[in-house]
Structure 1
Amino acid sequence: MERNRSAYLMPHPNTAGLYGTSETVQDYLDHQQLGPFFEMSERYGKLYQTMVDMLEKLDPEELDRRPERRAAIDELPAGTLASMWVDIDLTIAGANTSSRDQHVSVEEAISIHIQSIEAWIRNAASNL
């Protein structure tokens, strides 16, 4: 049977040193306003899976080559883009119309980025 254990951790010198058990991790996350970032992560996770599924349809052997491709990407010089989709600013600039300002909120930038990639995937799927 495992027993609960605790240890004393020296506080960082710049902390207030206030401790308690009245709040939860969720309280902390809410206080830090991290909800939108978790939502963004979920949206990109779903998009990533859609992209992987599309690659498998385009070339069933592509997934078997992933380790080789990952190694090749790791060898690229620093700052080199492995995919145009990595650069959210470039994607937004490409999606820009006269009615859309390039200076958008983070939330809108993410929506534009994801919508652009989804449009590309739909176009690729229609050509299968």
Structure 2
Amino acid sequence: MDNGNERFTELEPHPKSKGVYGGASKVRDYLKTQKVSSFLKAEKSYLKLIQQMAITALNDESCKKDEAVPFKGTKKAIGYTDWVLDPDPIIEKYCASKNIETPTKVEQKVKLHIAAIQSWVEGKWDILSVT
């Protein structure tokens, strides 16, 4: 993805794979059947967020000390799996702290997940203070 375009590569299938193979269709047709458009849009939003987090960390003097914990809003680091691999608990905690209903649609969840992480990065919301 060096020029901003997505690339897909055909891999050698597992010998016991029951997939359908051939050149009769296009990748975009397959992706439509898998309903991935929301997730591909989310990927771009997360990229912007990760860039913002990196800039924040690089510009935060406390992050340059060995004993410091990254980002301003917390005394403890949040584990990678806590906020990236399973975003639902973060979304639920953020919604509870804002007294808003937890969404069910992917697009709304992505927006709130990113808002929660941005608030945490900026020191405006401490995820660890919410139970």
For Structure 1 versus Structure 2, the TM-score category normalised by the shorter chain is 0.5 to 0.7
User: Aligned-pair RMSD on alpha carbons?
Assistant: 3.7
Residue 53 of structure 2 aligns with which residue? 51
- What is the identity percentage for the equivalent residue pairs of Structure 1 and Structure 2? 23
Structure 1 pair 32/81, CA: closer, same or farther in 2 (3 Å)?
same
Quick check: 1:82 aligned with 2:84? Answer: no
- State the SS of the aligned residue for 2:104: coil
CA distance in 2, matches of 1:103, 1:113: 11
1:118–1:82 Cα change, 3 Å: same
After TM superposition, give the deviation of residue 61 of structure 1 in Å.
6.5
Equivalent residue number for residue 41 of structure 2: 39
Instruction: Using structure 1 for the length normalisation, give the TM-score.
Output: 0.55
Alignment of 1:1-128 (within 5 A): 12=16, 14=18, 19-59=21-61, 62=64, 81-82=78-79, 85-86=83-84, 88=87, 89-96=89-96, 97-98=98-99, 100-102=100-102, 104-122=104-122
Tell me: CA distance 1:52–1:21, structure 2 relative to 1, closer, same or farther (3 Å). same
How much has 1:46 moved relative to structure 2?
1.1
Residue by residue over 1:52-85, the C-alpha shift from the partner in whole angstroms, topping out at 9 and shown as x without a partner, is 00111113864xx7xxx9xxxxxxxxxx942664
Name whichever structure is richer in helix by fraction. Answer: 1
TM-score (norm 2): 0.54
In 2, distance between residues paired with 1:121 and 1:43?
15
Whether contact under 8 Å (2:90, 2:113) holds in the other structure is no
Q: Greater Rg, structure 1 or structure 2?
A: 1
CA distance in 2, matches of 1:61, 1:119: 17
Distance 1:115 1:10, change over 3 A: closer
Segments of 5+ residues of structure 1 without an aligned counterpart are 1-7, 70-79
List alignment gaps of at least 5 residues for structure 2. 1-11, 70-76, 125-131
Say whether the 8 Å CA contact 1:85–1:91 is kept in structure 2.
no
Higher relative contact order (CA closer than 8 Å, sequence separation 6+): 2
